[in-house]
């Protein structure tokens, strides 16, 4: 069974979208995040090709989610450790191939997710690049043991995040890039989203 894992924080002032809030203010950043997270979950939860799990941090976060969506804790560690744990073959979060998506990608739709899952039919990993050098999606076929250094020493929130993450993959592991989408995490990406 395929699993879409949405990484999320509580939609509260000061808890999510801190870089965006510095650029546009706490209120508009919170409104964007709250609206986008709810809309994303509604879009993805209605597809029978996968199940949707929301992985939250901090671990005791409570969220209202659509029927059939499960909420789990991300657990301890930095972002890389939490992502590696969610994609690990023995993770209880997913069964079968899994993709992790961010909760700040307004253009993300079911067709993007489906193409990423199809890529995992031919590759061990897939990444959805973002224009800022990061990525909005990472997926694994979850059939192979993961290297112990997966997602370690990644310069998160930088133009190097995708390149650093690719460098942690095992030598020779097939990886396919998925669609390129903008994640809204700063003033520039927010302006592009508003203009679109």
DSSP, collapsed to helix, strand or coil, labels residue 61 as coil
Q: Does 3.90.550.10 match the CATH number of domain 2-195? A: yes
* Strand ordering across the sheet containing 175-177: 70-73, 50-56, 2-8, 98-101, 135-140, 125-129, 175-177
For the chain, give every domain's residue range: 2-195
**Which run of H or E residues covers position 128?**
strand 125-129
DSSP, collapsed to helix, strand or coil, labels residue 64 as coil
Give CA separation, 149 vs 158, 160, 161, 162, in Å: 19, 17, 15, 15
Task: Report pLDDT for 34.
Answer: 96
Task: Report pLDDT for 145.
Answer: 74
With vertex at residue 135, the alpha carbon angle to CA 84 and CA 100, rounded to the nearest 5 degrees, is 40
**What are the backbone dihedrals phi and psi of residue 44, each rounded to the nearest 5 degrees, phi first?**
-80, -30
Task: Report pLDDT for 146.
Answer: 75
Token pair listed for 38? 């709810």
Task: Report pLDDT for 14.
Answer: 85
pLDDT in tens, the chain (196 residues): 999 999 999 999 888 899 999 999 999 999 999 999 999 999 999 999 999 999 999 999 999 999 999 999 999 999 999 999 999 999 999 989 999 999 999 999 999 999 999 999 999 999 999 999 999 999 999 988 777 789 999 999 999 999 999 999 999 999 999 999 999 999 999 999 999 8
């Amino acid at each position: 069974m395929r699993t879409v894992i949405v990484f999320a924080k509580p939609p509260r002032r000061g808890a999510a979208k801190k870089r965006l809030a510095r650029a546009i203010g706490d209120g508009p950043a919170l409104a964007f995040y709250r609206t986008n997270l709810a809309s994303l979950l509604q879009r993805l939860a209605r597809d029978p090709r996968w199940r949707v799990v929301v992985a939250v941090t901090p671990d005791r976060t409570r969220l209202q989610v659509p029927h059939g969506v499960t909420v789990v804790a991300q657990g301890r560690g930095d972002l890389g450790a939490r992502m590696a744990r969610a994609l690990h073959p023995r993770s209880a979060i997913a069964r079968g191939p899994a993709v992790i998506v961010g909760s700040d990608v307004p253009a993300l739709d079911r067709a993007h997710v489906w193409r990423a899952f199809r890529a995992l039919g031919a590759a061990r990993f897939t990444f959805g690049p973002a224009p800022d050098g990061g990525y909005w999606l990472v997926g694994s076929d979850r059939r192979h043991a993961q290297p112990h250094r997966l997602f370690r020493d990644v310069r998160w929130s930088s133009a190097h995040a995708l390149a650093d993450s690719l460098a942690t993959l095992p030598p020779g592991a097939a990886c396919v890039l998925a669609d390129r989408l903008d994640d809204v995490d700063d003033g520039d990406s927010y302006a592009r989203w508003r203009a679109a």
